[in-house]
A and B are shown apart, each in its own frame.
Chain A
């Protein structure tokens, strides 16, 4: 797993361990006409059984799947000094919202995408900041390249774990691809109210 972290527009030493469960692939038949949360590639994601079997590594700071945390909360809180949570991009925002979890208890919340083209991450970031009022570090995980950074930053993300094998020095430049934006997001104001238009 990559260890190149960009945090608050700087490349930093990453002392968080990102736990990504590896699971067996099962074939799933999709029901026609039924709306379910679709993953980009159709692979499985871990069921409770899988999550219960995971051996928790002996480290101090760990980023865990939200569902794993919910299942084994006591054990996890006892074991680690600091816990961050992450969601798969197909996990439902409404579900997260209804958990009534105090997200600000956690110093990091991450969203993981398997594929670059998975744009759900942007809306999830926006909603977690805007609707759930998350104040701490929001981290992009997975297939994260230079070319998403400008948009992720504007969608509320404050840190980026750059994909294995890609240069973080190169990627960080993506944050300044554009000096202006038209529309507002989060607590920005749109270009037309910035009075830059003469």
Chain B
């Protein structure tokens, strides 16, 4: 993974000093609340219901074991012994003290980490495929491009205060696992005659007005990537709405101008990129790319693990759900579930579990860990011969929940328990749904299905792209939940359809159960996934069963 040089290290060190100064001026009342707000937000600091919340950047979800141990220490020394992995591959602490935040940032800087631009109206953490570099369907390893974009976007002077937040995601595989069509800019990397190009999607996003991104530019030579993104964001910076925060994202500008006019303005500014000082050259690409070369894999044979352990049903289930093929023969990638009965909320992890995962990464996966936008962790390079040993260690640490991609692998924002933006709680909803299922056979029979919960229309739980989406809404001061069906991520990304009037907190688990039972009774056979069945039969059968019985 990327290693800081002196420039990188100076930048994060100087940021700690700058932030300490900003906090001091705020505490001395030399900065007003209104002035301090954008400054602290650009350092990941929110003022929440109970305490500030600090969001730490994990660039494109890549962590070393040393970094994860530091995150565990921070959880113990400055928080309540746990952290929460977010849907942007970052980690959040819910209970730090305002005065301690510079100390936390100093500890992070010591291990090449920071909280820069994890919030606020600026370019946020660049995200990508958690299986970059190891997936068999990969065309381009996105990690070095993600690192180049991280550096370019860090303290970009022109984009320090955009109309609203700005998110960029990159995919380099046949199937998109980075949600590129629901980002402000989505980049699809492709190779043609050994040259690297990007297809550029713009104006996607979830939130209050969910939209699927539009393909704006095909086959942009990679050397122009930074200048083209600059022109997009420059036009947005100048003409994006600033009078209404709900209409301030780039998607609203793209929609109101129309993609053609938007593109015309961008390309007039871009002027073929030839005058840009940020044109990428082969040297820069090479300089960053060497940090992401494959480790020295051993030449191994593939293991018939399922047959070898056929008498251990729990292991086989875990193997099927939580591991996936690797580009290198004899290796697999393992996903560690942060969902289920041992986790107090989806994405939460205790400090001792963080240390255990760090140790396992050292032991089994070259000391690297990845975080996913589904709020789980990945050990990307595990030898098949060591998989069982790893599984047993995960059991000891309550980290072997075999539910990746299943209904209990719930994606969920912190919701009304923590977040001051939320309309409704989301964690208790996740927990109540989880409690519906004590029967693993039922869950496995349901197969792959995504369930996403957001506590408000800001959609941090990505509910629009959940096969089942649950959104907390406020009705005259009480908490209700609107349910959508049929959303999905990936190449066929689509937004869920609202099933009808919303439900009370108590009704939600029952309604979810009915949706699942309806699917089970109407699917062609167990090879027809929930989303395929939904696409075939539509929303009406679900509607009828739910509202007929509710009535």
> Can you list 10 A-B contacts (CB < 8 A)?
A30-B243, A117-B121, A177-B18, A179-B10, A180-B7, A183-B156, A183-B226, A186-B277, A193-B281, A196-B6
B306 proximal to A (CB < 8 A): no
Interface residues of A in 143-158 (CB under 8 A from B): 145, 147-148, 150-155
Q: CA of A187 to CA of B253 in the docked complex: distance in angstroms?
A: 30
Please name the residue on chain A nearest to B283 by beta carbon. Answer: A192
Q: CA of A117 to CA of B38 in the docked complex: distance in angstroms?
A: 7
Q: Interface residues of A: mostly helix, strand, loop or mixed?
A: loop
A57 proximal to B (CB < 8 A): no
Q: Interface residues of B: mostly helix, strand, loop or mixed?
A: helix
Evaluate contact between A198 and B237: CB separation under 8 angstroms: no
Stretch at the interface among B127-135, B147-155, B374-382, B525-533: B147-155
Evaluate contact between B14 and A177: CB separation under 8 angstroms: yes
Stretch at the interface among B90-98, B159-167, B359-367, B403-411: B159-167
Please name the residue on chain B nearest to A121 by beta carbon. Answer: B161
Evaluate contact between B253 and A124: CB separation under 8 angstroms: no
Q: Which of A35, A183, A193 has the most CB of B within 10 A?
A: A183
Q: CA of A126 to CA of B231 in the docked complex: distance in angstroms?
A: 12
Interface residues of B in 1-34 (CB under 8 A from A): 5-7, 10-11, 14-15, 18, 22, 30-31, 34
For A, the interface residue count at a CB cutoff of 8 angstroms equals: 53
Evaluate contact between B238 and A124: CB separation under 8 angstroms: yes
Interface residues of B in 83-142 (CB under 8 A from A): 121
Q: CA of A42 to CA of B245 in the docked complex: distance in angstroms?
A: 13
Binary contact track A114-128/B, C-beta < 8 Å → 1, others 0: 001111101110110
Contacts of A33 in B (CB 8 A): 256
Q: CA of A192 to CA of B289 in the docked complex: distance in angstroms?
A: 13
Contacts of B237 in A (CB 8 A): 119-120, 122-123
Q: CA of A85 to CA of B30 in the docked complex: distance in angstroms?
A: 31
- The smallest beta-carbon distance between B152 and chain A, in angstroms, is 5
Contacts of B239 in A (CB 8 A): 35, 37
- The smallest beta-carbon distance between B146 and chain A, in angstroms, is 14
B537 proximal to A (CB < 8 A): no
Taking A119-B159, A122-B159, A154-B157 as contacts, is the C-beta distance between A196 and B7 under 8 angstroms? yes
Task: Name B157's contact: one of A34, A185, A196 (CB within 8 Å).
Answer: A185
Binary contact track A169-198/B, C-beta < 8 Å → 1, others 0: 010000001111111111111111100111
Q: CA of A168 to CA of B64 in the docked complex: distance in angstroms?
A: 43
Task: Name A197's contact: one of B14, B156, B287 (CB within 8 Å).
Answer: B287
Contacts of A182 in B (CB 8 A): 7, 11, 151-152, 154-155
Contacts of A123 in B (CB 8 A): 158, 234, 237-238
Evaluate contact between B14 and A178: CB separation under 8 angstroms: yes
Task: Name A118's contact: one of B242, B257, B284 (CB within 8 Å).
Answer: B242
Contacts of B6 in A (CB 8 A): 196, 198
Q: CA of A37 to CA of B243 in the docked complex: distance in angstroms?
A: 10
Evaluate contact between B157 and A122: CB separation under 8 angstroms: yes
Task: Name B278's contact: one of A118, A127, A184, A187 (CB within 8 Å).
Answer: A184
Please name the residue on chain B nearest to A34 by beta carbon. Answer: B256
- The smallest beta-carbon distance between B22 and chain A, in angstroms, is 7
Q: CA of A18 to CA of B35 in the docked complex: distance in angstroms?
A: 24
Contacts of B35 in A (CB 8 A): 116, 145, 147
